[in-house]
């Protein structure tokens, strides 16, 4: 049997009435999980494992495993879409991969274009989901072999490239972006060092031993930062937010979004294949790439629809790409896929090279159900755009308490500590002050995510090489990433210097 035959059999499995129901339930719960900050796909999938086991208890083992995994996978990629809703409407990222969507999505909402932003997010997520699934069907085996060849040195250099790319999020000042990057890296070092077991920057406070929760920082800076801006600058009247006149995107919006959706779907898919890279890095890379390619880069951060289309497509494509190392190698590339792997093992099914031979019903049924689930997400969410878009027209005296409630609930649901609630408020004030003085927030968030990854991979690489730093140069892939990183930083400076020299010579 060929790939097409196996896929058609997978569709026969996916179209069984109970599997359609499980897929529908999964994407609905996933969308809700994505909307609420703090729960996230990882927590959502973990919470539902015992529930799915109960729901499928009367089915044969193979059938029960298929139905359960279909539901849990639906939660995973459904959450990737759901995170865009509050990012666009309330400047509140549902999870880490939705942070970039706030930069232009929220500005579009303030301009009365919330409907177009939400619709493009839905369309981009659907297209990216389909692209990543086609890639999963056709490229699973060769890409899994490439992914497994990535060593710690390669990952270190890739993450370093991601960090260097924050210059693309710099706004008016590269210096301010680099300052925020350093602040993010410093925050990422707080806690118990995973290698030596030594407490760093904890000041003997047990509450800091586990480090600072990423979500607390992100929600505080973006969501509560906007709340404090409204309070401190007395923006309590409702005039600044334009009325929503159109729900669906215009032909111009679709034309501007087509390129970013296509490019970001492919980029997100390939980054999703790499264990550890994930949807967050994919969304940041997508945003930076689209800003670089744009004819009007200054419009990013001010409501450019490409700044919504690109990141939303990238994070959805990454969730499909992350299934490749899980299904073909048995290597989970993220926290969520690690939990999915646990669900497989619970049913005595081992993900890896033999999965497609020994359990084709489970593997191909899952892949086919993801096609079905992405279609369900589009059909469910497009009619909801009109309802969601109305949220931005809610008077601020009602909207601000709603944002605060969602933020507090999301953070407390993850950490259960008063300290994190105080930190959330502190980050809100800090976020307001930074934004007021034109310090970009996105580089801090990206550095906080990438910092621990960079450190861990650097240490692993140096352990392998017995402390020899040349491992980062002698490895061809790592060297390539380092050269690109260097060019990324140096070329803009050279161009800027040449531009200044031209202006001086013209004046002379």
* 42 or 400: which leads in pLDDT: 400
Residue 239 has pLDDT above 50, yes or no: no
Hey, which of 123-127, 173-177, 225-229 has the most confident mean pLDDT? 123-127
Does the pLDDT of residue 358 top 70, yes or no?
yes
Tokens matching residue 23: 């897929």
pTM of the full predicted structure? 0.74
Mean pLDDT score, 474-480: 89
Q: Higher model confidence: residue 437 or residue 496?
A: 437
The whole-number pLDDT of residue 433 equals 92
What backbone phi and psi angles, to 5 degrees, belong to 200?
A: -120, 125
Q: Which is nearest to 362 in space by CA: 129, 72, 68?
A: 68
Could you report how far apart the first and last alpha carbons of the chain are, in Å?
A: 75
Which parts of 170-250 fold into alpha helices (H)? 174-188, 214-219, 225-232
Percent of the chain exceeding pLDDT 90 equals: 8
pLDDT of residue 159 exceeding 70 = yes
| Alpha-carbon torsion, ordered 155, 161, 164, 167, to 10 deg | -130
Q: Provide the CB-side half-sphere exposure for 304 (13 A, CA).
A: 19
Query: How many angstroms separate the Cα of 207 from the Cα of each of 188, 211, 332, 444, 474?
Result: 15, 8, 29, 22, 41
Average pLDDT, the chain: 81
Higher pLDDT, 369 or 32: 369
Which residue is listed with tokens 């006149």? 245
Report pLDDT digits (tens) over 404-423.
887 887 777 766 788 888 99
- The residues, ordered by sequence, that sit 6+ positions from 385 with a Cβ below 8 Å of its Cβ are 115, 118, 119, 122, 247, 248
What mean pLDDT comes out for the span 89-99?
77
* 44-87: pLDDT as tens digits: 787 787 788 777 777 787 888 889 999 988 988 888 777 788 88
Residues forming beta bridges with residue 200, ordered by sequence position: 191
pLDDT band at 397 (very low <50, low <70, confident <90, very high): confident
pLDDT at 234: 66
Structural domain boundaries of the chain? 3-235+245-498
């Amino acid at each position: 049997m060929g790939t097409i035959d196996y896929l058609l059999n997978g569709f026969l499995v996916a179209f069984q009435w109970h599997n359609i129901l499980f897929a529908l339930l999964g994407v609905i719960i996933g969308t809700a999980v994505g909307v609420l900050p703090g729960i996230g796909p990882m927590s959502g999938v973990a919470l539902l494992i015992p529930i799915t086991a109960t729901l499928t208890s009367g089915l044969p083992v193979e059938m029960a495993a298929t139905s359960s995994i279909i539901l849990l996978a639906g939660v995973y990629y459904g959450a990737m879409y759901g995170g865009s809703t509050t990012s666009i409407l309330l400047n509140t990222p549902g999870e880490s991969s939705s942070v970039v969507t706030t930069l232009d999505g929220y500005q579009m909402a303030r301009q009365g274009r919330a409907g177009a932003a939400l619709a493009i997010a839905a369309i981009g997520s659907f297209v990216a989901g389909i692209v990543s699934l086609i890639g999963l069907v056709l490229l699973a085996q060769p890409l899994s072999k490439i992914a497994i060849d990535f060593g710690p040195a390669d990952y270190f250099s890739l993450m370093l490239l991601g960090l260097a790319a924050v210059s693309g999020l710099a706004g008016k000042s590269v210096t301010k972006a680099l300052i925020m990057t350093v602040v993010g890296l410093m925050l990422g070092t707080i806690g118990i060092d995973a290698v030596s077991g030594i407490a760093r920057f904890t000041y003997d406070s047990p509450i800091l031993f586990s480090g600072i929760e990423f979500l607390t920082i992100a929600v505080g800076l973006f969501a509560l930062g906007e709340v404090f801006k409204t309070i401190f600058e007395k923006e309590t009247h409702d005039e600044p937010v334009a009325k929503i006149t159109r729900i669906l995107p215009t032909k111009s919006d679709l034309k501007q979004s087509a390129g970013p959706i296509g490019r970001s779907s492919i980029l997100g898919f390939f980054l999703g294949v790499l264990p550890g890279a994930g949807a967050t890095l994919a969304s940041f890379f997508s945003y930076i790439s689209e800003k670089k390619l744009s004819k009007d880069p200054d419009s990013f951060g001010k409501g450019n629809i490409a700044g919504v289309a690109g990141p939303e497509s990238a994070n959805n494509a990454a969730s499909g790409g992350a299934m490749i190392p899980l299904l073909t190698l048995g290597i989970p590339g993220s926290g969520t896929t690690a939990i999915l792997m646990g669900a497989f093992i619970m049913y005595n099914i081992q993900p890896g090279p033999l999965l497609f031979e020994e359990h084709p019903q489970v593997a191909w049924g899952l892949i086919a159900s993801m096609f079905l689930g992405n279609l369900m997400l589009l059909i469910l969410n497009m009619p909801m755009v009109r309802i969601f878009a109305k949220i931005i027209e809610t008077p601020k005296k009602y909207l601000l308490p709603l944002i605060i409630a969602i933020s507090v609930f999301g953070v407390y649901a993850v950490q259960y500590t008063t300290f994190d609630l105080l930190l959330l408020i502190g980050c809100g004030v800090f976020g307001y002050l930074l934004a007021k003085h034109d310090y970009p927030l996105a580089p801090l968030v990206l550095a906080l995510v990438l910092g621990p990854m960079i450190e861990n991979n650097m240490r692993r690489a140096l352990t392998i090489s017995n402390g020899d730093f040349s491992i980062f140069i002698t490895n061809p892939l790592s060297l390539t990433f380092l050269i690109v990183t260097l060019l990324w930083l140096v070329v803009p400076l050279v161009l800027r210097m040449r531009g200044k020299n031209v202006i001086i010579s013209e004046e002379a």
